């Protein structure tokens, strides 16, 4: 299996596992305040990560890791802000609405990729990206009054999520993905735990909420991000973000299996649109890519030919 194909599969798996976050967190947040939930959520995710890492034979030395500590702290702080805004949005709004607004992360990630990392996509891949984002919007759109507070919270969260992905992409070649994941959740636990303590929101969850947290934190903040960082080793940040736009498909499947919630015909069309866009994006050749910093290059190249 080629490294590129492995990266694609890692990102798809990451999207599948990340979708568990929408289901599990909403169930736990029925009983807990956002700042009471997040420290426990990420503390258990850290436990999963540390437990997994201790079983690995190939470990990075602290002497080598020390030079990357500022980047790891920045990764965790950026993710802390993202999750603070994200779970507040989940608490206030319907997960489907939050998932719809979360498509902004794909746009931010594309911008980070092409502007800061000089990544390139072909004209066809840009079309595929637009189709995938539109499909995700169709699938997760919920009619009714737009909740502007939830919109603001979610868009802000996704800016910091994209920034977290950018930091990870810059360091994943030198720091193992699982270490990136552990650093992220440990800093999240300390940061959000401190805020929760100061604001008096530290809460002991009920058994029901705790079980949702234990299961959800394994698949969401631990496993999905380790797989995402593995995928970033061989994939461009923008392409990985577009593949992650398939996430609403998995949310719909989990909702059906767990709660018997079925999707509408419009949402089904949205799901097919997502897949069509992702397939089109992956079928392009990146070596003939066009940077977003000069989109008119497509036109001038055609004129020369």
Give CA–CA dist 108/247, Å, rounded.
16
Tell me what pLDDT residue 180 has: 95
Tell me what pLDDT residue 252 has: 72
Helix ranges, the chain (H): 3-28, 34-54, 62-65, 69-92, 95-101, 104-111, 123-140, 148-171, 177-198, 207-217, 225-232, 237-243, 247-259, 265-283, 297-304
Range of the structural domain that residue 125 is part of: 3-304
Tell me what pLDDT residue 287 has: 43
Give CA–CA dist 149/98, Å, rounded.
11
From first to last of its 305 residues, what are the pLDDT tens digits of the chain? 888 889 989 998 998 898 888 788 888 988 998 889 999 999 999 999 999 999 988 888 888 899 999 999 999 999 999 988 888 887 776 666 666 666 667 777 877 887 888 877 677 767 776 776 676 666 556 555 445 677 788 889 989 989 999 999 999 999 999 999 999 999 999 999 999 999 998 889 999 999 999 999 999 999 999 999 999 998 888 888 878 877 777 777 777 776 666 656 666 666 667 667 666 665 654 444 443 333 333 333 444 44
Give CA–CA dist 166/238, Å, rounded.
10
Q: Is 55 helix (H, G, I), strand (E, B) or coil?
A: coil
C-alpha of 279 from chain center: 20
Tell me what pLDDT residue 155 has: 81
Give me the residue label for tokens 């080793």: 233
Cα dihedral 186/106/111/183 (nearest 10): 10
Tell me what pLDDT residue 290 has: 41
Find all residues with CB under 8 Å of 196, minimum gap 6, and list them. Answer: 35, 36, 38, 39, 202
Taking the CA atoms of the chain, what radius of gyration do you get in angstroms?
A: 19
For helices 177-198 and 225-232, give the axis angle rounded to 10 degrees: 140
Give CA–CA dist 185/211, Å, rounded.
19
Nearest of 253, 248, 217 to residue 99 by alpha carbon: 248
Tell me what pLDDT residue 136 has: 61
Give CA–CA dist 261/23, Å, rounded.
12
Q: Is 121 helix (H, G, I), strand (E, B) or coil?
A: strand
Tell me what pLDDT residue 2 has: 86
Total domains present in the chain? 1
Give CA–CA dist 215/146, Å, rounded.
31
């Amino acid at each position: 299996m080629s490294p590129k194909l492995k990266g694609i599969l890692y990102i798809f798996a990451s999207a599948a596992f990340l979708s568990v976050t929408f289901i599990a967190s909403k169930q736990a947040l029925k009983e807990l305040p956002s700042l009471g939930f997040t420290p426990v959520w990420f503390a258990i995710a850290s436990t999963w990560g540390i437990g997994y890492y201790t079983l690995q034979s190939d470990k990075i030395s602290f002497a080598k890791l020390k030079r990357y500590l500022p980047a790891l702290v920045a990764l965790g702080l950026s993710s802390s802000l993202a999750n603070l805004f994200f779970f507040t949005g989940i608490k206030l709004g319907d997960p489907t609405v939050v998932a719809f607004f979360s498509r902004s992360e794909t746009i931010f990630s594309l911008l980070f990729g092409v502007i800061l990392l000089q990544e390139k996509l072909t004209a066809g891949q840009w079309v595929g990206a637009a189709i995938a984002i539109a499909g995700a919007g169709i699938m997760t759109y919920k009619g009714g009054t737009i909740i502007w507070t939830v919109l603001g919270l979610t868009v802000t969260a996704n800016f910091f999520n994209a920034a977290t992905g950018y930091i990870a992409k810059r360091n994943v070649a030198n720091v193992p993905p699982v270490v990136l994941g552990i650093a992220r959740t440990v800093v999240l636990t300390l940061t959000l735990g401190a805020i929760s303590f100061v604001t008096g929101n530290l809460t002991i969850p009920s058994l029901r909420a705790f079980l949702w947290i234990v299961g959800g934190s394994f698949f969401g903040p631990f496993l999905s991000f380790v797989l995402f960082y593995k995928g970033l080793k061989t994939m461009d940040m923008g392409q990985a973000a577009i593949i992650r736009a398939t996430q609403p498909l998995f949310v719909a499947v989990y909702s059906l299996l767990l709660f018997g919630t079925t999707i509408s015909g419009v949402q089904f069309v949205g799901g097919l649109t997502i897949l069509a866009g992702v397939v089109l994006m992956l079928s392009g050749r990146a070596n003939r890519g066009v940077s977003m910093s000069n989109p008119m290059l497509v036109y001038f190249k055609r004129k020369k030919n």
